[in-house]
Structure 1
Amino acid sequence: MRILILTWEYPPRIIGGLSRHVYNLAHALAKKGVEIHILTCSDFGNTRIEKDGEIFVHRIKPLYLPGENFLLWVNHFNMAIIEHAIKLNNDQEFDIIHAHDWITAFAGRILKHSYYIPLITTIHATESGRNNGIHNETQNYISSIEWWLTYESWRVICCSKYMEEELRFLFNIPIDKLRIIPNGIQVNDLKNTDKSFNRRQYASDDEKIVFFIGRNVEEKGIHILLKAIPLVVSRFPNVKFVIAGTGPKHDQLKALAQQIGILQKTCFVGYIDDRKRNSFFENSQIAVFPSLYEPFGIVALEAMACKLPVIVGDTGGFKEIVRHEIDGIRVTPGSEKELANAILDLLFDPSKSEKIGNNGYKNAVENYSWDKIADKTINVYREVLYEYENSSWQMEKYNIKYPLVTY
């Protein structure tokens, strides 16, 4: 089976969770004998091809044309993908095109119809979900592309029941076209820590660490966490809040921390690599993810796999991953008071914290391995190929290649 994966991010280019998802899924598929070619954006200037284990990674340089508009950049990137993919497919045809989110929609659709190759799409999040609705022309345009991409796809994969319901509501996708396949974790990778990590750079020996990692955007609820901090510190002073990640709200969040008067209790560390993230998991007492919108929440699973008790917003995929008061605590999204109480509950009760951490570890490692997720993905591929091979669309491809000649 030969699969062409289209994604705008792939390590070391990491914008959000999509990059790690594609990386881990691709490697798990390759271990099962699937030939994987990934077309992604180059951060190194020129287009280049490299081997990442058993995976072929094609890092594509977007066409360089004037204009700083992100939507223009997306079009330039898609044109470059198409140009490269044509050469690849002419050498040896792909069985399936697998696109990830709307940014590669144009390339996916054109390649599908040019070569009669089935298109499968994984939708990781929607523009409406990210922005709590559609509020301007740009958002409406992106949402329209998302609808168009799901319409053009033979199957649409999403990561949770929550996302399935969101996609059905927003885009009216038939239920038999949707497949739920969760995100996963690599437990062994989480054991690789930063050997130079020094906990005392972030907190004193007698301070507990409450850790957050994620993009600094509105839907992650970091502003709610900051507002909860005074409520926590007033009752439990020996605590430090470490916030990792970057994004468009980064400076605004630091300004909010200063305005509230909690800079001495918070530490904004910016972008951190996976090893340092793992070190924070190892050295923290609680992980907090107070999201307002969360299609899945892979970062919570990673924390759970490190036996770190998690507190999450009671929304989206978190509701399916975290069983309240069993392997985590769920709080009402947007409620700093409820979030503060949950943090205090675990800080004051180490035995409860340890029990939740152990239960979370068991849940994560037993139910969310990439090996199982790869098996589910291959089943979708086989399902689509079977339908395709018995379809009139496949015959159209045959007739174009070998037109019927009559005399």
Structure 2
Amino acid sequence: MRYNIAMVSDFFYPQPGGIESHIYQLSSKLISLGHSVIIITHAHGSRVGVRYLTHGLKVYYVPFYVLYRESTFPSVFSFFPILRNILIREEIEIVHGHGSLSSLCLEAILHSRTMGLRTVFTDHSLFGFADPGSILGNKLLKFTLSDIGHVICVSHTCKENTVLRASLDPVTVSVIPNAVVASNFRPDPSKASSEYITIIVISRLYPNKGADLLTAVIPNICKIHPTVRFIIAGSGPREIDLEQMREKFQLQERVELVGSIRHEDVRDVMVKGHIYLHPTLTEAFGTVLVEAASCGLLVVTTKVGGIPEVLPSHMTIFSSPSEDSLTQSTLEAIKLIESKAVDTSKFHEQVKGMYGWHDVARRTENVYDIVAKIDNEPVIDRLKRYYGCGIWAGKLFVMCVVIDYLLLRFLEWLYPESGIDRVRKWPRRPIDKSLLAGENSESAKIESEDEDSGLGGTTATA
């Protein structure tokens, strides 16, 4: 079947990141499978309104206030009127939310279920259970997913974490990993220096991404190995710490801070290096690790979360999330590169055979087939599930759902569905037979076409 799908998340281009890339690539492949896909996210600077990306992918940039780390202020009900208008205009059948910290995602799932639409949620992150922020976030996630059609996680570790946090039935949770367009991350040995061992870091510079570890490890490695240099791309609150470290140890010529870069420029930075360093403290999958291996880099990373599931052992050197362990693992990687004990030239072809967006799209399509067959339950059954979320929280959740139903009735009276224009759909593509067959040769051809089209053709519409 062909579906009208709405991807909803606070995290999308032009903001760089793994979730952003996942949504774009998955949406593009679903369009290639013949589905109609739109994306709903918040405005980014002057990018407000409706934009079209390549493949006819329509993006709604909704003007909402950003609270923290690109997540909008949780308004609960104020998003409903504009969301309802978009969903009716686009004749959406399935709403697919991404990111457990995305307010737009969680609110869209709640309102879509009130409207009787099918819903899917993809979790891309890992969270704890003890700190106040995690406790509150987990409670909200449990509320939102109490009436979800199906949940997708990007790794088995992520699945275990999400099932516990949201008290889900494991049967309703599937594992579908991220992927990369391998043709966009081809190695280029001519770009890497023959005089230095170059270590690449591309990450948001936040504490949970290991920025503090990075600040401590770099001086140790530079002191031991005079032929090692670092290229660090990314921005965040810990960027100032890296600048101070560079000044303190006089490493201006050996530590290059590139700042934030666009996703299409990631490959140009990676091919300059020999080793990719990923000092994160928590990670559900780590798409950047696959991209680095595809570029022919030996990966040094902490053994946390779902990272051990991503790459085979000959591509990766694992470390515990500590300064001494990460230093030793990086020195081991430098030794392997200097002695040429590991052949990184074969990594690209191996990654190309392991990960592909055509496979992710087909598996996601199977999830849509599952939720499309689920019958809508009576309102009272839905309220019972929300009531079971806690002694006090359950009553609050039921109250929110009741208000949501009343708001829907008010909106139906104020703006009748019959008075909302239906948009003219972008011509659907013929179903791509190679995606259905999942042939690697054809997949490479499709990914090559994606590379040629790029993201540079973004245009504004009325």
Q: What residue identity is the alignment partner of 1:377?
A: T
Aligned partner (choices 362, 370, 373) of residue 360 of structure 2: 373
Aligned-pair distance for 1:358? 4.1
Q: What residue identity is the alignment partner of 2:165?
A: L
Residues 220-229 or 344-353, more deviating: 344-353
Q: What residue identity is the alignment partner of 1:108?
A: A
Aligned partner (choices 302, 314, 317) of residue 313 of structure 1: 302
Q: What residue identity is the alignment partner of 1:33?
A: G
Q: Which residue of 2 aligns with 1:186?
A: 181
Aligned-pair distance for 1:45? 5.5
Change (3 A) 1:2 1:227: same
> How many residues are paired up?
377
Structure 2 residue 113 is the aligned partner of structure 1 residue 113:
yes
Q: What residue identity is the alignment partner of 2:278?
A: F
Q: Which residue of 1 aligns with 2:146?
A: 151
Change (3 A) 1:69 1:332: closer
Task: Kindly report which structure 2 residues correspond to 1:326-405, keeping only aligned pairs within 5 A, or say none.
Answer: 326-334=314-322, 336-350=323-337, 355=342, 357-358=344-345, 360-386=347-373, 388-389=374-375, 392=377
After TM superposition, the score normalised by the length of structure 1 is 0.82
Q: What residue identity is the alignment partner of 2:92?
A: F
Structure 2 residue 74 is the aligned partner of structure 1 residue 75:
yes
Residues 309 and 327 in structure 1, CA contact (< 8 A), matched pair in contact too:
yes
Residues 211 and 238 in structure 2, CA contact (< 8 A), matched pair in contact too:
no
Structure 2 residue 304 is the aligned partner of structure 1 residue 304:
no
RMSD: 3.2
Residues 4 and 98 in structure 1, CA contact (< 8 A), matched pair in contact too:
yes
Residues 327 and 358 in structure 1, CA contact (< 8 A), matched pair in contact too:
no
Write the distance in 2 (CA, Å) between the matches of 1:144 and 1:234.
Answer: 47
Write the distance in 2 (CA, Å) between the matches of 1:106 and 1:291.
Answer: 26
Write the distance in 1 (CA, Å) between the matches of 2:12 and 2:368.
Answer: 21
Q: What residue identity is the alignment partner of 1:154?
A: G
Write the distance in 1 (CA, Å) between the matches of 2:187 and 2:49.
Answer: 31
Aligned-pair distance for 1:257? 4.3
Aligned-pair distance for 1:118? 1.6
Aligned-pair distance for 1:359? 5.2
Write the distance in 2 (CA, Å) between the matches of 1:270 and 1:69.
Answer: 19
1:163-185 deviation per Cα after TM superposition (whole angstroms, max 9, x unaligned): 11111232322111111110110
Aligned-pair distance for 1:303? 0.6
Write the distance in 2 (CA, Å) between the matches of 1:229 and 1:293.
Answer: 20
Aligned-pair distance for 1:277? 2.1
Aligned-pair distance for 1:261? 5.6
Change (3 A) 1:309 1:392: same
Aligned partner (choices 78, 98, 101) of residue 99 of structure 2: 101
Residues 289 and 312 in structure 1, CA contact (< 8 A), matched pair in contact too:
yes
Aligned-pair distance for 1:28? 1.1
Aligned-pair distance for 1:351? 7.4
Write the distance in 1 (CA, Å) between the matches of 2:275 and 2:327.
Answer: 12
Write the distance in 1 (CA, Å) between the matches of 2:71 and 2:10.
Answer: 14
Aligned-pair distance for 1:232? 2.4
Aligned-pair distance for 1:214? 0.6
Greater relative contact order (Cα 8 A, min sep 6): structure 1 or 2? 2
Percentage of identical aligned residues: 20
Task: Kindly report which structure 2 residues correspond to 1:110-259, keeping only aligned pairs within 5 A, or say none.
Answer: 110-126=110-126, 128-129=127-128, 134-136=130-132, 138-191=133-186, 206-259=195-248
Which consecutive residues of structure 2, in runs of 5 or more, have no partner in the other structure?
A: 382-408, 413-462
Write the distance in 1 (CA, Å) between the matches of 2:366 and 2:186.
Answer: 30
Secondary structure of residue in 1 paired with 2:352:
helix
Aligned-pair distance for 1:318? 1.3
Q: What residue identity is the alignment partner of 2:118?
A: P
Q: What residue identity is the alignment partner of 1:75?
A: P
Aligned-pair distance for 1:71? 11
Q: What residue identity is the alignment partner of 1:100?
A: H
Aligned-pair distance for 1:188? 2.2
Change (3 A) 1:374 1:281: same
Aligned partner (choices 265, 268, 283) of residue 294 of structure 1: 283
Q: What residue identity is the alignment partner of 2:107?
A: A
Q: What residue identity is the alignment partner of 1:24?
A: Q
Q: Which residue of 2 aligns with 1:89?
A: 87
Aligned-pair distance for 1:275? 4.2
Write the distance in 2 (CA, Å) between the matches of 1:86 and 1:330.
Answer: 47
Which consecutive residues of structure 1, in runs of 5 or more, have no partner in the other structure?
A: 402-407
Residues 139 and 166 in structure 2, CA contact (< 8 A), matched pair in contact too:
no
Change (3 A) 1:286 1:46: closer
Change (3 A) 1:98 1:354: farther
Residues 364-373 or 346-355, more deviating: 346-355
Q: What residue identity is the alignment partner of 1:74?
A: F
After TM superposition, the score normalised by the length of structure 2 is 0.73
Change (3 A) 1:68 1:92: closer
Change (3 A) 1:353 1:374: farther
Write the distance in 1 (CA, Å) between the matches of 2:70 and 2:51.
Answer: 26
